A and B are shown apart, each in its own frame.
Chain A
Amino acid sequence: MLKNDATANLRRQNQLLFLLCLATVAVIIVTLLTVAGSGMNEPKTDQISVNDPRPVALAVETLEKKYGWIITYEDPPYVHESELVDVTEKVRRDLDKFKPGQAPKVLIPKGGDLTLKYSIDPATKKPVDSAVVVQQLLDAYAIAGNPGVFRLDRDGERLHIFAGAAKGKDGVLVAHRSVFDVPITLPAQKRNGLELLDAFCSAVSQASGTRVVLATVPMTLFFRYQTESGAKEQRARDFLTHEFDRMNNIKLSWRLLYDPVSKAYFLNIHTVSSLP
């Protein structure tokens, strides 16, 4: 009789254990399916990878397009030959007009690769802080031993990247003051946007001693823009930023590129899409 009871208890225990195992397997399957179907396995990082004569400039241009951020870029003065590459043979189409090796040189920054993996918010699929990402970008650039030392400055929603140091002709890294860091003075008068930019470039050229040329600009936008702005010992970058802010909610940014041949800066202004 006792033996029979013990056998029955054992059978009941085994049945309970079997059911517990089955339930565990079911819960594991449900958990795996749920996790697979949820956002938990979504990537929380994104990556940017560029290869360009100006990798920082291209990377921030990519970030602008992707997230709608405004990130201005200013080249360091590329003067040391280790940071330049001669592309005369590739670029010029009029080599036949010159004796071999006599054609005017076309020099561009040597550039290279730049890769950055950065965190994004899974909910918005965007980085939480643009400045953090851009700073990480500049750090990655610096760690790779690329030319120039870039600094990041934040002005409201706008980020400015400019060179804080650059190699001199002797190859020694020296502190650099961007041409847009110089204070300028502009007489206040009625101008359209293009006239203002013309006057701005002249003022910066005069104040910095480095020629600044207007290269590309949203022409119609600036042609129609009317202003009476002027500046008195105002930092060039601040003047330009504030003027852009007054232009009807249009997000404007710039790329100030250095030409080592003419030793001039070329100001390229572009709009940033608000779509993201």
Chain B
Amino acid sequence: MRYLFRSTSKAKTLLAITCIMIMAICFAILSQVSISSPFKNMTAAAAAAPPKNVNIRGKERTNAQGQTPPRCSSCPPPIPRSIYVPAIELSEASTCEIVLNSRSANEIEVTPTFYTVTGEPILGEPLRLKPAEIRFARVDSLIPRSARHHHWGGMTLSFVGSILEVWAQITFHGVGGRGSIDETFNILGDQPSDTREAVWWLPKKGTAVIALGNSSNAPIQTTANFSDGEAKQITIAPFATEFIRRRSADRPDRSGSVDSVKLTVTGSSDAMRVAGFIVGGDKSFDSSIRFADTKKVAQPNLYATNLRLQNTEPHMVLKNTGLADISARPRFFSAAGENENPVELPAIVLRPNETVDVNLTPLMQAAAARPDLNAVSVNVVNSGAPGSLIGAWNGTDTIKLLTYDVPLRDSGPIRNSTGSYPWRTDQDYTTIVNITNVSDHAASFVADIRFPGGHYFVPTLELPAGGTARFDLRKMISEQRPDNQGNVIPLSTTGGQFHWSIFHSPPSSKFIGRSEVISVSRGVGSSYSCPGCCPDSGPFGTINPPPSVFLGESFTASTTGTIYDGCTGYATNVGWFAMEEFWMDDESIASYSPESGSSTLVTGLFPGQTALHGIYSWQSFTSDGWSICYEDRGQTEDQQPVDVQCKVPTGETSAADVWGTGNLATVHMWKQTLTGTGDFTNRTIAEQEGTPATISDACHFPGSMVDPYTVTGLDATVTAGNQWKPDAVGRSTGAVTYYRQQGRSPCSATASQVMFISCPDMLHQYTTGNLVVGITATEVSSKRHSASAQTKAWP
């Protein structure tokens, strides 16, 4: 090369021209290769392929297949949390019971800390709660044995998790000798205002007990202003509890009186937590006093559900906590809500700070004539500002001598449209759960009844405005009616967790819910209405992978979905869920009906593969870690392959039929019965040589005038009973004679036979076997597959 570049310019020019010519030739070859490229042909063939009967919808799906929005991706991580009650000991009660309620998807550790009435903390042993576990325990059993001699104030439960992942409630038993009173926990750190207010009905000779707890390590001061004008300044030491007791005014003309209090905190408003109790009285009236944070109320009206009227003396008391007159208008609904003639009481005008014991006579008169009003829900429409009206509802069962203490309160944030309540049916306990739609329009919810070892799902239930759904757990267990997944609550089950959530409802929908756990023998009438963190998210799921479907047959393509607690990730299998639209890629292979719903019937039309699609809507709630839930809605598409197959027999049996005649006198006609399920009538049977052909013909020789024995093809039709015939197995008389004349007998031939049955698309193999034909000097024989050989003397 070095010499080349030192050569003359003429030589260089020649070299350059040669290079250019070589390249030109190469380009020419390349262009020819390109034209005749098989890949180019393939592309052209694909482009020219006739369009299949493909169903292409105009709608563009924005969500990728099977995509599930991340659950609670924006939720804050688990953090240390504490819930607190100011009182675990009442001198009026004999025992104190706690119910621990886990909403966690995982086992969670909870550490109790008990405070003496003077504020000395005593650390308890950590407890481990399983997912959705409900655990009842005597509070004193959780206190270290060495410290049980103290007088107790409040307690905290500490855990690491999301808000409301663990909840609890206290029940004092033996109040006034036999009754019970509930006390709900408080979420520490939820930034309450400095004001709490309560109103209550106090029976004659009864006592109202107010427990003021300090959950902080610094002293706080609280001012209590009662309705009779009495005011008290209370200083509460760190972690201590102060009790205020107020006896009822002893007025012979009245069975009871209305009292109220306004508490104002000086110092940390988060530290002051309050609970109230009503004990004693002529009728052993035992109830809690429910305090409202009137500066943190979402809207002005009050709601309550499952107010018992039958055999009950109810009391509804109201108070105007505002600075202006308000009008309160109670409306009572049966389970049918607005649809069934609600009972509306006259509007009540309340001046500032005025309390009223509402006259329920019109309601009781209506209830006496209408069985649907045995238990009602109420909506007290308030003309004032949010928080300007507070109330309380109590009912005393005149037969069971139980007091039903019902929260009458604001509908609250969206999370109040959920709940996870304890339920129990052991001993004589009964549990009734009521869910009421407090919206002015129809709305829906789902429920999941959890118990050790299983769950029972209640699919979406729509309630009219004001409507109520009632779940009697004892009755549901006894009925043993399977849910949409075939589950029942076993008869041996005695308790668990009742979870419910607003679900796929219009914006601004609201529900309230409450569980009432009653034991007449133990004098228990507990109410649980604790909300969840956020409503459930979902559904997220799939069309269940379908099995192969046979031509002309159908299967139901169902769905399986899951909903999740938006905060803890607790997953609930909801069984089926609704697809807003189904569609099939190739409707010539399979049809489907209906076009939407929880399932669709897929029918095989033509052998082949296609895909069934479905699109569904979901909603997702994520928490800010405290009281706000962010809602998101979207759609997800799912698809599953559909494989339509032609049903073929599993095999066949052969039976001897007859020998042929004429040229076929040496041929046996076999009769076959197809095996397997299904009707193959009118289908065509065909045969083919085995591959590779495994013919062994000892009669044949090179140059023979008779071709080797082989499977020559047949064309039979299946008749009733899945039978077909004949399969002629043997040699013609001419062939038999020829081989005998050539001195070839005795000899035989074997051919492999592959059997096919027709389908619309093609022939499908269903069995194989050997055909054996024999010739001796005097006889011929025929054998088909596993059937016994047939022999005949011929001629």
Interface set of A (CB-CB < 8 Å, partner B): 13-14, 17-18, 20-21, 23-24, 27-28, 30-31, 34-35, 38-40, 52-54, 85, 87, 90-95, 103-104, 106, 108-109, 111, 122-123, 194-195, 197-198, 213-221, 223-224, 248, 250, 255, 257-259, 262, 266, 268-271
Contact = CB atoms under 8 A, between A and B. Distances in A.
A20 B19 contact: yes
A213 B706 CA distance: 10
Contacts of A195: 662
5 contacts: A17-B16, A106-B743, A216-B710, A218-B713, A271-B712
Given A106-B743, A109-B703, A266-B706, 7 more contacts: A27-B27, A38-B33, A85-B703, A93-B747, A111-B703, A216-B710, A216-B732
B742 interface: yes
B712 A90 contact: no
A218 B15 contact: no
A61 to B, nearest CB: 9
- Could you tell me the dominant secondary structure of chain A's interface residues? mixed
A27 B715 contact: no
B720 interface: no
Given A39-B37, A223-B728, A31 B26 contact: yes
Nearest to A42: B38
B598 to A, nearest CB: 46
Contacts of A250: 713, 715
Interface string B700-724: 0111111101101111100000000
B778 to A, nearest CB: 14
Given A27-B23, A38-B37, A220-B728, A213 B734 contact: yes
B113 to A, nearest CB: 79
Contacts of A221: 712-715
Contacts of B707: 215-216, 255, 268, 270
B36 interface: yes
4 tightest Cβ-Cβ pairs between the two chains A and B: A108-B703, A92-B743, A218-B712, A219-B728
B392 interface: no
B585 to A, nearest CB: 29
Contacts of B710: 216, 270
B483 to A, nearest CB: 55
B677 interface: no
B644 interface: no
A91 B705 contact: no
A271 B667 CA distance: 19
Contact of B705 (A92, A93, A218, A257): A257
A208 B702 CA distance: 27
Nearest to A122: B36
Interface residues of B, number: 54
A40 B663 contact: no
B719 to A, nearest CB: 12
B22 interface: yes
A224 B734 contact: no
Nearest to B6: A14
B29 interface: yes
Contacts of B715: 220-221, 224, 248, 250
B304 interface: no
Contacts of B32: 40
Interface string B728-750: 10111011001001111101000
A145 to B, nearest CB: 19
A270 B710 CA distance: 9
A53 B702 contact: yes
A54 B703 contact: yes
Contacts of B22: 24, 27-28
A223 B665 CA distance: 12
Contact of A218 (B29, B702, B714, B734): B714
Contacts of A54: 703
B753 to A, nearest CB: 11
A53 B703 contact: yes
Nearest to B29: A31
A56 to B, nearest CB: 13
B12 interface: yes
Nearest to A90: B701
Nearest to B730: A219
Interface string B668-706: 010000000000000000000000000000000111111
Nearest to A225: B715
Interface in B233-250: none
A210 to B, nearest CB: 13
Contacts of B744: 91-93
B732 A217 contact: yes
A28 B703 contact: no
Contacts of A214: 663, 732, 734
B5 A18 contact: yes
Contacts of A268: 706-707
A223 B726 contact: yes
Given A27-B27, A34-B33, A194-B664, A220 B714 contact: yes
Nearest to B777: A94
Contact of A34 (B30, B662, B714, B742): B30
A259 B5 CA distance: 81
Contacts of B23: 23-24, 27
B743 A94 contact: yes
A52 B704 CA distance: 11
Which of A14, A54, A258, A266 gathers most chain B CB within 10 Å?
A266
B29 A35 contact: yes
Given A221-B712, A258-B705, A17 B662 contact: no
Nearest to A106: B742
Given A39-B38, A218-B714, A220-B716, A87 B701 contact: yes
Contacts of A90: 701
Contacts of B705: 215, 257-259, 266
B742 A35 contact: no
A82 to B, nearest CB: 16
B41 interface: yes
A32 to B, nearest CB: 9
Contacts of A259: 705, 738
Contact of B702 (A39, A40, A108, A213): A108
A91 B703 CA distance: 10
Contacts of B667: 219
B587 interface: no
B405 interface: no
A90 B23 CA distance: 66
A108 to B, nearest CB: 3
A92 B699 CA distance: 10
Nearest to A219: B728
Given A220-B726, A223-B664, A271-B712, A17 B732 contact: no
Given A30-B30, A223-B728, A266-B706, A197 B714 contact: no
Contacts of A23: 19, 23
B713 A27 contact: no
A24 B706 contact: no
Given A39-B37, A198-B662, A87 B703 contact: yes
B702 A38 contact: no
A16 to B, nearest CB: 8
A27 B12 CA distance: 20
A52 B735 CA distance: 21
B727 interface: yes
B41 A123 contact: yes
A92 B742 contact: yes
Interface in B617-661: 660
Contacts of A255: 707
Which of A27, A92, A104 gathers most chain B CB within 10 Å?
A27
B712 A270 contact: yes
B521 to A, nearest CB: 84
Interface in B508-524: none
Nearest to A98: B743
Nearest to B725: A220
Contacts of B660: 194, 219, 223
A91 B731 contact: no
Contacts of A218: 712-714
